[in-house]
Structure 1
Amino acid sequence: MSDFSTLGLNDQLLAGIVKLGFETPTEIQTKAIPLLLQGTRDFVGLAQTGTGKTAAFGLPLLHLIDKTQKHAQALVVCPTRELCMQIVKDLEAFGKAGGGAKVCAVYGGTSITQQIRDLRHGVQIVVATPGRLIDLIERKAIDLTKIGYVVLDEADEMLNMGFKEDIDFILEYTPNRNSMWLFSATMPPEIRNVAKRFMNQPVEVSVGKMNTTNVNIDHQYFVTAQPHRYEALKRLIDFNPDIYGIIFTRTKMDAQEISDRLTREGYNVDSLHGDLSQQQRDRVMNGFRSKALQLVIATDVAARGIDVSGITHVINFELPDDVEVYTHRSGRTGRAGKTGICLSIVTARDVRRIRDIEHIVKTKMNRLEIPSGKDVCRKQFFHFMDKLLATDISHGDYETYLPMLTEKFANVSKEEVLQRVAALEFDRFLKYYENAVDLNIKKTPERPMAGAGDRKPFERRDTKGRSFEGGGGNYQKVFVNLGTKDGFYKASFLQYILDLSDLRKDVLGRVDLKTMNSFVEVDKQHVKKMIKAIDGKTYKGRKIRMNEA
């Protein structure tokens, strides 16, 4: 059995790893670390979320940097602030035994002044999100010319989120790097292009089959009518009383609305989306990690970088548009050898997409019935009984109260006591579910859609069957008086207009971002909604104008 001592790491790092309780490296760590310790080879590592990628690049970085130098020697770029903070936390933990390295987190949503101050104090490793890093570059607050090692973590996600131009910009500002390490769960053509443009004959290491999901995850789906989605969600939560997980929604509006409704009905939940301040996000994540919250309702972007152990369930309130997003979502559970469950709530129209997911990720998804009201009550009842029998009564002076309890219940039978306890615990469930309707849609034969044989899975088309890719007749061009002079890059601009309008990215076509203004192609069905949401708003004290071009 391999251990970390065989990989070539220095004694200080090995001591730190032992203190953390690490014994056997994962497959990506075993394959990547000896190569990366050379410090001169460009590298592409393909591995799913949760396989130990941070240690795979973090330990070599800590081994290679010169701690006597006070300038930045390594740069790690990742898609979200949550992942940014998690990487910093891991790097600091890895390096503790050897005095560690000075690591600085650079991300949006918090004081840039403090981050500039931290950089000036001298750091060896910078971990950054693209937008804030570019802001610092343009302010000349960070010098990347002495960066020897560049890591792109979750590169596919950064490209999915629209950071392609930002990544290109950043890499142009690191001309003297010794090596570049790219880690990704998938290898789409965009990643190949980055490797071709900026890397020199990279060594490629692939762990496991790409586009496949964790074998420890049980994939289930439940078919109901659109208006019954929320009731189906509640029933699935109630049917899994020990659930500890993440519910994924398409939009921040859905995340907030579901969170508010579940909270009003007594569930320990909170939401995580782009409208929250950093302080609010930290409060939610602290509550989730401590298990004060049983569930977090999150959008895909907001959930990036969440690294919480022990998640039992992932629930897709709606299926994502992209198979790779499904893989990332489900990968939040079933980690570290544990089993997990991924539940998807779908309508009859979505069933064909289930087949597409199965085909791409090579995983069988099991169709199950949404539990009846009686099933839920029965499950809760047995859970309560098990919990009652497992209650630890060894601590506490309960014997002092036994005489009083015995006297109080002298004329009450054991059966009646149990009935009363059950009534106290289950009165709400019994009342709620006594007349519960069947939420299932009965199975119907699945027939292939006419003319769909040559389509790619999840390819979006207009009403005439034309692909949305590349723009065209189904789009209307709109003008908006915002541009690069306002501090926008393509990714931040897209995120800004989508957040204001609460629309999805797939309603947009080409985006032409200019200095003073921009032109955006918008699906004709959504043009009026976008203009209504954005026209007349203010940005940095300036009134926004948006109209059809």
Structure 2
Amino acid sequence: MITFEELGLDERLVQAVTEMGYVNPTPIQEKAIPVLINGTKDLIGLAQTGTGKTAAFGLPLLHLLDANDKYPQALVVCPTRELCLQIVNEIISFKKHIKGLQVVAVYGGASISLQIKDIRRGAQVVVATPGRLIDLIERKAINLEQIKYVVLDEADEMLNMGFQDDIEFILQNTPNRDSTWLFSATMPNEIRKVSKRYMKEPVEITVGKVNTANKNIDHQYYVTSAIHRYETLKRLIDFNPGIYGIIFTRTKAEAQEIAEKLTREGYDIDALHGDLSQPQRDKVMNQFRDRSLQLLIATDVAARGIDVKDITHVINYELPDDVEVYTHRTGRTGRAGNTGVAISIIHQREAYKLRQIEKIIQTQINKVEIPSGKDVCRKQFFYFMDKLLKADISHGDYETYVPMLEEKFADISKEEVLKRVAALEFDRFLKYYENAGDLNARIQDRNERRSDDRGRGRNSRDGGRRDSRDFQGDTTRLFINIGTKDGFYKASFLQFILDMSDLRKDVLGRIDMKEMNSWVEIDKRAANQMIRALDGKNFKGRKIRMNDADSGGGRRR
């Protein structure tokens, strides 16, 4: 295997990484560093999060910079404060044997005046989030005209967060750069457009296949009904007693609600979402990093850039709307050679989403049965026994108490003592799971669905959907900006809107599909639920618009 010494890096950098315990570069480092230390080539590096991208660009930056020039020479732009600080800490570790090189972190939620002072002291490397950097540019508190190297880290994350205009503004304000280095886990069209506009014949390096899953992650899914989703989550947590993970929800309200529920039930958990102030966010993240919290529940936006070591599980409380988001979520486990588990909780009509995800990540997602109450108790019991056997008794003066213990338990057998210890630990679990029901729901195959539809057809029209006349006038028509041009025909479109809204077929009447738009007749009592479920969601990079056509919201043809 190749070593860092063989990559052509400054010997002081090689000494630093060797002292950190690294001898052999990761694949992205091995491919990128020899290209980047020349300093003149633009580069696109495609690799999953957790593959060593910070060193892949951080070491070449330090190799190229002149410590005698006391002004910003390199700019690293990343999506979040957490990632910003992480990059700075790693670069500081790399430069420990190079005197005079300064690195400054620039991000929102902290004193901008202190950050300006740090820059003016002569920092050569500025690591920044887009918003705060633009604030500094507009205040003329930072001069980017002498920036030679620009790094866009987690570029796809920044675009997902709506920073495309900010990135272009930053690139326009670094006109004299020698090269631009773009690192990303995925390659959406927006990144291609940015690269074509601002990069010149970039070298493209791909480690693994774009969007493919980390092979160290076991991808699993559990099928339950929508009303049992929370109960299933709780059971899966209990079935994995050593879990240290992140639970993803779609909305901040849901994240907060689930965190409060689980906290009341005795779990070490907190929520991370957009309503938290920066000090609150820092407190939650510090507690999670030092394992005072066993679980973190987060929205996708709030979790951007989180990089915590040794996460064992990622749980999708609901599948994301965007398939690429699945890759980002699950990439937070199984890092640095460790194994991890990615769990998705789905209801019966979400199977099609899993098939889409499998195609993108080119990895099978395995169906697993939701454990029974007895299974949970058994797993917890074995975990407790292992903890008991591994308990460290070397630091306490336990010998002093042994005679008293022997006297106290003289008339009680060893078996009786063990039972009592187990009762103290497991009484809550045994009572809770004593009469626990089966939470598994079965996904019907196509033949079964057709058979069910034919059975229902005897009592209704159009293969199980009620005709509008059966609603006795209590219907409305919904407009949606999706049509046959999006690859749907009536049956697949019907399945799509039912899966998204978790409604039954019998609330629907006539569906009128056109090339660009469609109209759905629906029971008025179910209309708001369908609108809430679909309106504003993303489909193939486009925002879905759904509203009540009968109230004048949608166009008609």
TM-score bin, normalised by smaller chain: 0.7 to 0.9
1:3 to 2:26 alignment? no
Query: What is the rounded CA distance, in whole Å, between the counterparts of 2:13 and 2:331 in structure 1?
Result: 28
Displacement of 1:508 in angstroms is 11
1:506 to 2:531 alignment? no
Query: What is the rounded CA distance, in whole Å, between the counterparts of 2:268 and 2:371 in structure 1?
Result: 21
1:124-163, aligned counterparts within 5 Å?
124-163=124-163
**Which stretch of the first structure deviates more once superposed, 46-55 or 393-402?**
393-402
Displacement of 1:446 in angstroms is 4.5
Query: What is the rounded CA distance, in whole Å, between the counterparts of 1:111 and 1:446 in structure 2?
Result: 59
The alignment partner of 1:79 has SS state of coil
Cα distance 1:153–1:342, how it changes in 2: closer, same or farther (>3 A)? same
Question: What is the aligned-residue RMSD (CA, Å)?
Answer: 3.0
Query: What is the rounded CA distance, in whole Å, between the counterparts of 2:406 and 2:218 in structure 1?
Result: 47
Query: What is the rounded CA distance, in whole Å, between the counterparts of 1:179 and 1:169 in structure 2?
Result: 16
Aligned to 2:197: 197
Cα distance 1:510–1:155, how it changes in 2: closer, same or farther (>3 A)? closer
Displacement of 1:275 in angstroms is 1.5
1:241-280, aligned counterparts within 5 Å?
241-280=241-280
Any conservation in 2 of the 1:216–1:338 contact (CA below 8 Å)? yes
Query: What is the rounded CA distance, in whole Å, between the counterparts of 2:313 and 2:82 in structure 1?
Result: 20
Displacement of 1:293 in angstroms is 1.1
1:187 to 2:187 alignment? yes
1:175-233: CA deviation from partner (whole Å, max 9, x where unpaired): 00000001111112111111110011111111111111011110000011111111100
Query: What is the rounded CA distance, in whole Å, between the counterparts of 1:365 and 1:147 in structure 2?
Result: 45
Query: What is the rounded CA distance, in whole Å, between the counterparts of 1:12 and 1:29 in structure 2?
Result: 17
Equivalent residue in structure 1 for 2:547, among 519, 524, 528: 524
Matched pairs, number? 490
1:330-371: CA deviation from partner (whole Å, max 9, x where unpaired): 111111111110000011111111111111111111111111
Any conservation in 1 of the 2:272–2:284 contact (CA below 8 Å)? yes
Aligned to 1:479: none
1:411 to 2:411 alignment? yes
Aligned to 2:110: 110
1:86 to 2:60 alignment? no
Displacement of 1:143 in angstroms is 1.0
**Normalised by the size of structure 1, how large is the TM-score?**
0.84
1:97 to 2:97 alignment? yes
Aligned AA (1:524): N
Aligned AA (1:23): V
Query: What is the rounded CA distance, in whole Å, between the counterparts of 1:465 and 1:49 in structure 2?
Result: 41
Displacement of 1:510 in angstroms is 12
1:480-533: CA deviation from partner (whole Å, max 9, x where unpaired): xxxxxxxxxxxxxxxxxxxxx99985379999xxxxxxxx9964369x9xxxxx
Cα distance 1:186–1:265, how it changes in 2: closer, same or farther (>3 A)? same
* Percent identity for Structure 1 against Structure 2: 64
The alignment partner of 1:302 has SS state of coil
The alignment partner of 1:151 has SS state of strand
Cα distance 1:525–1:408, how it changes in 2: closer, same or farther (>3 A)? farther
1:219 to 2:242 alignment? no
The alignment partner of 2:384 has SS state of helix
**Normalised by the size of structure 2, how large is the TM-score?**
0.83
Any conservation in 1 of the 2:348–2:442 contact (CA below 8 Å)? no
The alignment partner of 1:524 has SS state of strand
Query: What is the rounded CA distance, in whole Å, between the counterparts of 1:465 and 1:310 in structure 2?
Result: 49
Query: What is the rounded CA distance, in whole Å, between the counterparts of 1:391 and 1:82 in structure 2?
Result: 35
Cα distance 1:242–1:60, how it changes in 2: closer, same or farther (>3 A)? same
Any conservation in 2 of the 1:104–1:119 contact (CA below 8 Å)? yes
Any conservation in 1 of the 2:106–2:126 contact (CA below 8 Å)? yes
Aligned to 1:47: 47
Query: What is the rounded CA distance, in whole Å, between the counterparts of 1:97 and 1:504 in structure 2?
Result: 55
Aligned AA (2:63): H
**Which stretch of the first structure deviates more once superposed, 143-152 or 89-98?**
89-98
1:26-45, aligned counterparts within 5 Å?
26-45=26-45
The alignment partner of 2:401 has SS state of helix
Unaligned runs of 5+ in 1: 475-500, 512-519, 529-549
Cα distance 1:506–1:66, how it changes in 2: closer, same or farther (>3 A)? same
The alignment partner of 2:358 has SS state of helix
Displacement of 1:70 in angstroms is 1.3
Highest CA radius of gyration, 1 or 2?
Answer: 2
1:359 to 2:390 alignment? no
Displacement of 1:99 in angstroms is 2.9
Unaligned runs of 5+ in 2: 451-462, 464-483, 501-510, 520-531, 552-557
Displacement of 1:392 in angstroms is 2.2
Cα distance 1:464–1:154, how it changes in 2: closer, same or farther (>3 A)? farther
